Each structure stands twice: as structure tokens, then as C-alpha cells.
Structure 1
Amino acid sequence: MESLRMLRLAIDYVEDHLHEPMDIDGISRAALSSKYHFQRMFHAVTGFTISEYVRNRRLTLAAEELAGTDRKVVDIALGYGYESPEAFAKAFQRLHGVTPSAARHRNVKLKAYPRISFQIQIKGKSEMNYRLAEDAAATVIGKEIVLREIRSWTFRHLWRRSGGTARMMPSTRPPAGRRDRC
């Protein structure tokens, strides 16, 4: 619960200061946390860094202003903390896929990153009936692949690329060293 409170304080601070300069030290202080602990917690819960969140929120609000007002691009860029219109245009195009000027046109698709909110969902309060059973022996097949880094998409990607069970071969070798099998 304390971690959620910390994250909510940080999000409140960020949202209140999107038009002002801010750094990770200030955000972590607002969250009543150390910089190190806050950054780790935020990334673990959201999947992205606090800097990415701030940048995406600023560029989302900037896109809304570009589409809905006649303010100059340079004024919007400076209002969201960019030091030059060029830096703003580069970041804007990287996120939205269009230039800030093109964002003013109708029917242009832009990305939106809404404010993050955190909720706790409690599961498992219902009764669950189960039984233990012993089945006959099963054959396990797999493909051995040495990976330097494991990401969430790795196993799905490898499974699709290998054609699923059609191209898998039984493993006859015992594991050597530290490896994961899929």
C-alpha cells in the first residue's frame, strides 16, 4: 500500500508540473522516496521509466494544443520544457509519427498517453476445489536455444518462428550450464 501511495504522489507531482522544468530528484522527493527506489518501483509497476512518462504526457498535451488552438509551435514547445522548436519537432515526430505542423490538420492520427492511475484488484477470495491426480508418463519435446536476455515476447516469437510443434525435436542431451528451455 505504501508503494501505491508513493506512486500516486509522484504522478500528482508530475501532472501538476508538466509546464515546468522537473527532474527525477524532485519527483522522487515528492514521492517521499529515494531516487533509486522510486525509479525501480515506477519502472517495475508501469513498464517504462519516469522520464518516458513525463515526455509522453507532455507530447500528448502538446498534440491536443496543436490540434485545438492556434498557438505557435515554438510557444507550445517552450511551454512544455523544450529548449528549441527543433528538439520539440524531433521528439513529437518520434512519438506521433507526424510533424507538429501536420498535427493541426483534421484526420491526422495522434497517440495519446493519459494520466496513469493505480488500482488494487484482489483476487482469490472465492473458494476453489481441486484434486491431485497422477497421469501416465508424458513425452516432452523442446528446442534448445541459448539467450543472452529474456524478454516477454521471446518465447512467443521463437515458438512462432519454429512453426510450433511441427518442427520441434526431442531433446536427448541433458542441460549444460544455465539455460532456459521453451
Structure 2
Amino acid sequence: MTEAYEIRLRRVVQHIFDHPAGDLSLDALAEVAALSRFHFHRVYHAMTGETAAQAVRRIRAHRAAHWLLRTDWPLAQVAAAAGYDNAQSFARAFRGQFGLTPAAFRKSGRDTPPALTLRTGVPLMFPVTIAERPALRLAALPHRGAYHEIGKAFQQVCAVFSARQLWDQARGTVGVYYDSPQSVAEPDLRADAGIAVPEGFDLPSDLHETRLPGGRYAVMTVKGPYAQFPQAWDQLYCNWLPCSGSEPADSPPYEFYLNDPTDTAPAELLTEICVPLK
């Protein structure tokens, strides 16, 4: 029976990501889950730790944040794509999640003041250190397509861990990115959304194992919304790496997420971008 509820929960999460501008009312989501509207909200909250309404607000705001920084769409178009009836309701809801109006967020994301300057004079958004990182074993799901859409794969993995009460064995949340967006067409980009787990962990049948080697890594610690990640990655590879005297190793880079976007303000999110070094 738990597995049946898990499947329904994952179907709802996928629906929210795929249809941010659609009908995401409690009744509509209950229908997607094939559960009575009298019980759906209790089941969803019990299994995920947030209400369905909170999930809808969070996912819509985070998708809007990516569009604000990655497109030149007018604010009204971003609002409509994210499922808001008008610019006023969009601005109010977005500010509730990000602490800034959509216009201010777009400006701040494109005009970020440098936190660190290289000897070349090229600004880095965030500091980079070289550190020894342990090997990681992940329980993961694959993601294919735009990297900023990987959240829906993460939601699916988290649904499995919540439904089966596996969080006591989780050791962190990790996104593995195999391709460069500059050289691979967006629909063909490959990634894994995973939870780090110990060696003795018995992987659920619908998750696969991904292993990341330990060793020396360049680690950029990013504070703030996920929407700024493309800029951070570009600066790590284009500005820091050529000046570092280091060469990347033959294994994929990854992001290690240090806190949870379901209970952390976007401005306070902490993420480590980790690039393996020879």
C-alpha cells in the first residue's frame, strides 16, 4: 500500500513541474493523485513534510527565477508561464519566496557585485578552495534535458525516500552533471539527481546507483538562489580553472546541496560546486 501512495505522490510532483501554469488547485491535484480531496492534503503533507500548496508556490517561484535570469521575457510573460493571473500577484508571491520583486531579482542576478577578484582582474562571484572530498555512493534517477529542470527528478527521488522512510540513511543531496551546456544540445544534456547513501544501503528498485570518486576537488561555495548557477559554473571553469595551475580529472563534476529548499529561503541556500582535479 505504501508503494501505491508513493506512485501517486510522484505523479503529483511531476504534474506540478510539467504544468506550472495549469490548474494546481487542491481538487485538481487530488484528481491527479486519484485520492479523495478530503484526504489528499493530509497524505501529501504526511509523506513530504510540506503542504501541496506550499510545494506549488515553491516550484512556481523557482521556475520563474530561472526564466527571469535565463530569458529576456517580459515580466508579464514570466508571470503567465509560472501560473500567475497577473503581474501583481506574481510579484507578491515571488517576493514572499525570494525577498525581492521579480524586477529587482532579475537586476541583482545580472549585476551581481564581485565577492572575489582574481589577479587577472576577472571577478568571481564566490570563493573557490581545493579540498579532499570522499567518494560518494548515490541512490539516483537520471535527468535528460535542461539542467535547470532537474528539480523534478530530485522531487521524485525525495518522494521515494519520504514514502519509504529512508531519510535516516541519507547523507546529502547531490546533482551530477555529465555534459557541457555549451557543447551539447539542451534536450541531450545528461544528469543524475541523487541522495548520498552508505555502502550497506539497499537501493529501492526504481533508483539506480551512481558512484563518484574521492580525491582532490575544486569547490566553489555558492550562496543564494539556484537560478544563478549557470553564471557560477561559467566563472569556475572560465576564470578560476585557467589561473589555478590545476587540470580537471576524468570524472564528472557535481553539486552538493547543503540545505533544503523546502524550508530555506532562496537567499540562504548553500551549494558546493565540485570539480574533480588530477
What secondary structure is seen at the aligned counterpart in 2 of 1:90?
helix
1:82-97 matched pairs, under 5 angstroms? 82-97=84-99
User: For the residues of structure 1 that align with 2:18 and 2:83, how far apart are their CA atoms?
Assistant: 14
- Corresponding residue for residue 114 of structure 1: 151
- Corresponding residue for residue 66 of structure 2: 64
What secondary structure is seen at the aligned counterpart in 2 of 1:101?
helix
Output the amino acid matched with 2:39. Answer: H
Share of identical aligned residues, percent?
30
What secondary structure is seen at the aligned counterpart in 2 of 1:19?
coil
- Structure number with the higher strand fraction is 2
User: For the residues of structure 2 that align with 1:68 and 1:44, how far apart are their CA atoms?
Assistant: 35
- Corresponding residue for residue 180 of structure 1: none
Match of 1:6 among 2, 5, 8: 8
1:44-83 matched pairs, under 5 angstroms? 44-83=46-85
User: For the residues of structure 2 that align with 1:99 and 1:15, how far apart are their CA atoms?
Assistant: 22
Cα offset, 1:56, TM superposition: 0.8
User: For the residues of structure 2 that align with 1:82 and 1:29, how far apart are their CA atoms?
Assistant: 21
Cα offset, 1:79, TM superposition: 2.1
- Corresponding residue for residue 103 of structure 1: 105
Match of 2:30 among 22, 28, 49: 28
Cα shift readout 1:55-114 (whole Å, capped 9, x = no counterpart): 110110000000111100111112222122111111111110111112223339xxxx93
Output the amino acid matched with 1:59. Answer: A
User: For the residues of structure 1 that align with 2:56 and 2:100, how far apart are their CA atoms?
Assistant: 20
Gaps of 5+ in 1: 127-182
What is the RMSD computed on CA atoms of the aligned residues? 2.7
| Aligned CA distance change for structure 1 residues 81 and 97 (closer, same or farther; 3 Å) | same
Cα offset, 1:16, TM superposition: 2.1
Cα offset, 1:17, TM superposition: 1.5
Output the amino acid matched with 1:29. Answer: E
Output the amino acid matched with 2:23. Answer: P
Cα offset, 1:28, TM superposition: 1.0
User: For the residues of structure 2 that align with 1:56 and 1:114, how far apart are their CA atoms?
Assistant: 11
Aligned residues: 122
Q: TM-score, normalised by structure 1?
A: 0.59
Name which one, 1 or 2, has greater alpha-carbon Rg: 1
Output the amino acid matched with 2:70. Answer: G
Cα offset, 1:122, TM superposition: 9.6
Q: Which has the higher contact order (CA 8 A, sep 6+)?
A: 2
